[in-house]
Amino acid sequence: MTNTNEGLDWEQTLFTLILHAGNARSKAKEAAEFADAGEWEEAQAALEEANGEQYKAHQINADIIRMEASDQPVPFSVLLVHSMDLLLLAWSELDYTEQYIKMCQRVKALETEVAQWRSQASKS
The pLDDT tens digits for 35-91 are 999 999 999 999 999 999 999 999 999 999 999 999 999 999 999 999 999 999 999
Query: Which residues belong to the active site?
Result: 82
CB 110 within 8 A of CB 44: no
Q: Which residue has the higher pLDDT, 124 or 112?
A: 112
In 37-77, which residue ranges form alpha helices assigned H by DSSP? Answer: 40-69
- 1.10.10.10, 3.30.870.10, 1.20.58.80, 1.10.3720.10: CATH of 8-123: 1.20.58.80
Residue 120 has pLDDT above 50, yes or no: yes
Confidence of residue 123 (pLDDT cuts 50, 70, 90): confident
What would the mean pLDDT of 105-118 be, rounded to a whole number? 95
Contacts of 102 by beta carbon, 8 Å cutoff, 6+ apart: none
Confidence of residue 6 (pLDDT cuts 50, 70, 90): low
The model's pTM is: 0.86
